[in-house]
Amino acid sequence: MKNVLKSPEPSDLQKYKNNNISQSKTWKSFKRTSAYNSVRETLIRDQKGLCAYCEIDLHPNDRCVEHFIPRNQSTPENNYDLDWQNMLANCKGGLENVDISEEENERRISRPPNRVACCSAAKADFNPDGKLLNPLELPTLRLFRFSSLDGEIRPDENVCQKVGIPIEYVQFTIQKLGLNVLRLKNERVAIIAEITQELDDRDDGTINPILLKKQIASERFGDGKHDWPAFFTTIRWVLGKGAEDHLVDISYLG
């Protein structure tokens, strides 16, 4: 999970809310309109192609709109159904049959489902009580570290303390969103191994290790104007200071 920057509310969503009577201002009704596609695509662009929770790439057959505060909490005063700041783009959580061929998406290492829920499917109708981290409210610093042995995601205690986020909140978020399901751990292990091998192959004994990592970060992250690679935060952790130096160079904000 990483910081997500949100663009202004799509005009199609504004028009829908302004032009419809209160009884029809529900997500179920809104999804029947053409404006729904505009909202979903804007969310995906904002997140540079990644699920807001697990950071898998959002394939056309494996994406949905997540309401951080569940829609069942909507009231006449607070309509969470159509609150732009309450919406995120997510994968379907590994529970649905998703047809993704290797030709369609070369970046995805494995395919859901594995019948163990993550992301929106794991969160379900849980109403955030302050402990569940919201991607829209995260710092730009990396809050997580990873095991190179099994791909497990863990809190980075030093960073959490630096930015004032309780470690137990990060641990709760990992557990609640199922970010350590086997499928995700396996994909992280594969990425960590791939980058580690690349570092070994390109280290000729003369290049500064940090500069090499920065070079690889530049190749993987680019200028920050296009989609991020899947598991952005995992790659960032592997490349360490090299990645941080490159992100500073491109004025990374999320």
Q: What is the pLDDT of residues 189-248, one digit of tens each?
A: 999 999 999 999 999 989 899 999 999 999 999 999 999 999 999 999 999 999 999 999
**Cα distance between residue 204 and residue 230, in whole Å:** 28
Question: Tokens at residue 15, please?
Answer: 């028009």
Mean pLDDT of 90-115: 60
How does 86-95 read in b/e, with b if 16+ C-beta sit within 10 Å?
bbbbbbbbbb
Confidence grade of residue 107 (pLDDT, cut at 50, 70, 90): very low
Q: Flag the least confident range among 86-100, 165-179, 186-200.
A: 86-100
Q: Would the CA dihedral through 108, 110, 114, 117 be positive or negative? A: negative
Amino acid found at 4 = V
Give me the pLDDT at residue 25, please.
Answer: 82
**pLDDT higher at 107 or 225:** 225
- Residue-averaged pLDDT of the chain: 90
> How far is the CA of 167 from the CAs of 5, 20, 51, 133, 172, in angstroms?
23, 43, 22, 11, 9
- Which percentage of the chain shows pLDDT scores above 90? 77
Structure token digits, residue 233: 């935060």
Beta carbons within 10 angstroms of residue 248's beta carbon: 9
The per-residue pLDDT for 103 is 46
pLDDT-derived band at 61, boundaries 50, 70, 90: confident
Separation in Å, CA 227 to CA 48, 50, 54, 122: 4, 8, 15, 25
**Domain edges within the chain:** 11-249
Q: What are 75's two structure tokens? A: 């009231």
Give residue 106's pLDDT: 47
Q: What pLDDT, on the 0 to 100 scale, is given for residue 114?
A: 55
pLDDT, tens digit, 9 for 90 and up, residues 12-46: 999 998 886 655 688 998 999 989 999 999 999 99
φ, ψ dihedrals at 92, nearest 5°: -85, 0
Question: Which two structure tokens, joined as six digits, stand for 207?
Answer: 């290049």
In the chain, which ranges are continuous DSSP H helix? 11-19, 27-30, 35-46, 119-123, 157-163, 167-176, 182-202, 209-221, 232-249
Instruction: Say what the pTM is.
Output: 0.91
pLDDT for 129 equals: 86
- Beta strands at 64-67 and 87-90: parallel, antiparallel or unpaired: antiparallel
